[in-house]
Structure 1
Amino acid sequence: MGGGQELPQRGGQSQGDLLLCVLPWPHEECEKSIALIKDDFPNLEVKFIRDTSKAKDHERGPVDVPKDLYKRANILATLAWLPSTASASPKVELIQFFSAGSNHIQRHPIYTDSKIPLTTASGIHGPQIAEWVIMMDLVHGHKYVEMYESQKRKEWAQAKGMDVTDCVGRRVGVLGYGSIGRQVARVAKAMGMDVLAYTASPRPTPESKRDNGFIVPGTGDPDGSLPSAWYSGLHKEGLHEFLKQKIDLLVIAVPLTKETTHFLSTAEFELMHESNSKGTYVANISRGQVIDQGALIKALEAKQISGAALDVTDPEPLPSDDPLWDAPNVLITPHVSGSSKAYSQRAFQVLHENLRRRRAGGKLVNEVDRKKGY
């Protein structure tokens, strides 16, 4: 299991602990993961409620969680549902979110007015999102869209597939070197690319560069050794120094906070163009608001960047009349890059790890720092 060194098990959970799972997946999809937790915690009572308000099938509808369950629950596993206040669930000692971030609940009273530990599923999205990033970059670099359009017209347009750029020697700038960025780096290095990392705070020592979050085994950059250089800061000066490095592929993977809202706007796109006249390709898998969308459209139209791959937009869903749809050299997907058939299984692994750490009195993995916002 990911998440670092195995912790010693001291004692067990108290009798009568209740894990309440309010999740959008069908119960049968989660049974094996729940069984693994029950094997490790035989005295733990588990109740599963399907949150059909977040379901992606025909069963979509409001979720009804019995009051007596969340009044008794000690641990809550959820994607988005929460009791109205902390006092409504007086026994809750841990809330495990099955999402990568917590920005969707940062105005909720449990976030603002309680000290209940909140943890996320950060770390489980690296493999599938890294594949999305590389896929989109290859589609763009190998002119696949143009060739597919030719295929639909039954044209043998060989010339359209000639002017391509392979990955060797290109530079990838990862803005937000967390679990997703680290897996992008791993794949990019395997393809012969140079990697630059950008983090909110400086990482001057080997220990500071380590990934202390949940890690899908065999993925990522656990010791932080892949980047050839690191940049940092939540100020424009640090960001601009990073963007001056002639980046060919810019991967945006920062959490959405007050500081990162419109982190990339007109000045940043102009700087990218100045440092790389061939054009930086921008891939955003964080949140749409990190980019000033109007400035992005202008940058695409002015060819300040070579293109953009966007799995997130501002707003979502993107209205059908939004000009972003018709911007040149843009590829848009409907916030699906993190989807995977292994999603719920990996998220339960994070929960399982935190239950073990809670039992051992250890530090939780992926605990949210409410002041930082992630």
Structure 2
Amino acid sequence: MRNVLIENPSGTPVAEMATNKDLAGHKILLIVPWDPPAGYVDGLRKTYPGLKVFHIRWDTWSKPDLPPNITPEDWKTVTILLIGPKFPTREQAPRLQLVQLQSAGANYILNNPLFTETDIAFCTANGVHPPQIAEWVISTYLAFQHNIPTFLEHQKAHRWEHSYDDSDTQDAVNQRVGILGYGSIGRQVARIAKAIGMEVYAYTNRPRPTPESRRDHSYIVPGLGDPDGTLPSKWFSGTKPEEINEFLSADLDLLVLAVPLTPQTQGLIAAPQLKLLQKNHTFVSNIGRGPVVNTDDLVVALNEEWIRGAALDVTDPEPLPKDHPLWDAKNVIITPHVSGNSTSYNRRLLDILDINLKNLSEGKEFMNRVSKKRGY
């Protein structure tokens, strides 16, 4: 089998494999905390007669180790792995070629020698989250705008408190959402935001000056997202502080933080950036990773009302300690990292795995491959 390393546009070496339609010689191990849908495993075997398929129900997110019933001999023949955040060593799995992650985030692999010191393709589940996370972003924002948290407290107290001011609520029409990190989640947020009358500004670390550069090449749930990148009325880009600050100064009503956690994005939003949002009293929604925001500065920004409020599905630290001041900050909605939950999650994950198995069989580049250069 021919194996030539080439460099793809993302900066990650790609193993250009000869066509292997039956995936002869390959062995896939599915280590997931659930059972695949009925017929899924048999379907793989039928599609790829040369592929050996094994499934172990095991939660690598909550268990401290890999499944103990996988023998050293088993690991030696594994070439494809579907798994969470725990991995064998290169010595344990010397034939491993493809790791399909269960998560869209890949920060937990960035310092792992299996990623940094090999040419094994690590692919994320980018694209499984947009429908449900976009719903969370828009629903929490609208809940805040329509004062729903207060009304829920009134309901618990059996208190009817009617407002006779018909103009006490700002609806979403003509408000501006700025999406910091215009990936698959950001694009679905944009789709819903446009549908309710909002204007969309997008921010990416690399310039997207042409129609082709604005296209989305990751997994997309059919009919959703912004595949052609046509929804934003304005694009911003760059990695320098002044470039990000220009975006934050663009009179945003809603700022959505949808960037991955990398060394470059850690602490990206701190007091100076939050101060820039004071002009338009922006509402901040974080569905990326907690450490993207300086938590102490965020508490100050909320309590001193630099910003309108915040909806946080991720925090730093996480889990958030019971006595942490963020719980009691003004105008904050906090959920325990659940915005990505969906009854369709596993099916979409297997859709991405299916695409990458097909690409492997046809010698094509993998979908959602993590770039060593960018860290996502």
Please confirm whether the aligned pair reaches a TM-score higher than 0.5, indicating the same fold.
yes
Distance 2:323 2:38 in 1: 43
For residues 1-374 of structure 1, what are the structure 2 equivalents within 5 Å? 11-25=20-34, 27=35, 29-54=36-61, 63-65=66-68, 66=70, 67-83=72-88, 85-159=89-163, 163-274=168-279, 276=280, 279-374=281-376
- Counterpart residue identity of residue 52, structure 2: E
SS in 2 for 1:77: strand
In the alignment of these two chains, the number of paired residues is: 356
SS in 2 for 1:348: helix
Distance 2:22 2:372 in 1: 26
1:279-335 CA deviation, whole Å, 9 max, x = no partner? 111000000000011100000011000100000011111111111111111111111
Distance 1:192 1:40 in 2: 45
| 2:66–2:87 Cα contact (<8 Å) kept | no
Measured after TM superposition, the shift of residue 104 of structure 1 is 1.2
- What stretches of structure 1 of length at least 5 have no aligned partner? 1-8
Distance 2:86 2:118 in 1: 16
Q: TM-score, normalised by structure 2?
A: 0.91
Distance 1:149 1:191, change over 3 A: same
Comparing 153-162 with 134-143, greater Cα deviation is found at 153-162
| 1:146–1:160 Cα contact (<8 Å) kept | no
Distance 2:64 2:373 in 1: 34
Distance 1:74 1:62, change over 3 A: closer
Distance 1:62 1:31, change over 3 A: farther
Distance 1:35 1:14, change over 3 A: closer
1:144-188 CA deviation, whole Å, 9 max, x = no partner? 011111111111111299521111101000000000000000000
Where in structure 1 do 4 or more consecutive aligned residues deviate above 3 Å? 29-36, 60-63
Q: Percent identity?
A: 45
Q: CA RMSD in A?
A: 1.7
Measured after TM superposition, the shift of residue 35 of structure 1 is 3.9
Distance 1:48 1:98, change over 3 A: same
| 1:24–1:79 Cα contact (<8 Å) kept | no
Distance 1:272 1:90, change over 3 A: same
- Counterpart residue identity of residue 41, structure 2: I
1:228-266 CA deviation, whole Å, 9 max, x = no partner? 000011111111110111100110000111111111111
1:209-244 CA deviation, whole Å, 9 max, x = no partner? 000111111110000000000001111111111011
- Counterpart residue identity of residue 101, structure 2: F
- Counterpart residue identity of residue 358, structure 2: R
Distance 1:68 1:42 in 2: 22
Measured after TM superposition, the shift of residue 98 of structure 1 is 1.3
Which residue is equivalent to 2:11?
none
Q: TM-score, normalised by structure 1?
A: 0.91
| 1:75–1:94 Cα contact (<8 Å) kept | yes
Which residue is equivalent to 2:3?
none
- Counterpart residue identity of residue 59, structure 2: T
Distance 1:171 1:158 in 2: 29
Distance 1:52 1:364, change over 3 A: closer
Distance 1:30 1:237 in 2: 49
- Counterpart residue identity of residue 365, structure 2: K
Q: Which has the higher helix share?
A: 1
Measured after TM superposition, the shift of residue 33 of structure 1 is 3.8
SS in 2 for 1:309: strand
Distance 1:160 1:359, change over 3 A: farther
